[in-house]
Amino acid sequence: MAPSIDLVCGFLGGTLLSVEGGYRVLQHPKPERVFSRISDAKWFLAVNWCEQYSVPAGILNHQGQVSYLNEAVLDIGETAFLPLEHRKAVFNTCLTLSPGETGTYQLSSNKYVSILGVEIDPRYGKVALVRAI
């Protein structure tokens, strides 16, 4: 008997499927990989979102920590990408955004970041996907 699919949804350019035992991400390099929780599958797609950019990009949580950063951020440094004094305002900007809406925040006279607020795990609320523009 073929496995049944109860849920199919899009998230950050990826596709999530519920399957027996958990959730699959169609874009995962190992197609047989099953995540036990949907939040783990969403986290994979959020990391994948950051990795698709050659510019600095990362995931900012409600505590002001960059939970994930791509290689471009490693090259310039976490605080050069997102200075500590701006993190609260960047995160607050994400809270005002509607689903799918992107915001912009000015860090300095010539430095801006793009912000996308998403909920990966309802236990923790939104996170801000941030990338340099």
The structural domains of the chain, ordered by start, are 1-38 (no CATH), 53-132 (3.30.450.20)
SS3 assignment, position 22: strand
Q: What is the mean pLDDT of residues 110-131?
A: 92
- What lies within 8 Å, CB to CB, of 44 at 6+ separation is 25, 28, 35
Mean pLDDT across the chain = 90
pTM of the complete model: 0.86
Inter-residue contact 70 to 53 (CB < 8 Å): yes
d(CA 129, CA 95): 12
Q: Which pLDDT score, from 0 to 100, does residue 1 have? A: 44
Which of 92, 18, 81 lies closest to 50 in space, CA to CA? 81
Which of 118, 90, 120, 119 lies closest to 104 in space, CA to CA? 90
Decide which of 47 and 30 is more confident. Answer: 47
pLDDT in tens, 73-105: 999 999 999 999 999 999 999 999 998 899 999
d(CA 45, CA 17): 13
The DSSP letter of residue 44 is H
Percent over 90 (pLDDT), the chain: 65
Decide which of 19 and 8 is more confident. Answer: 19
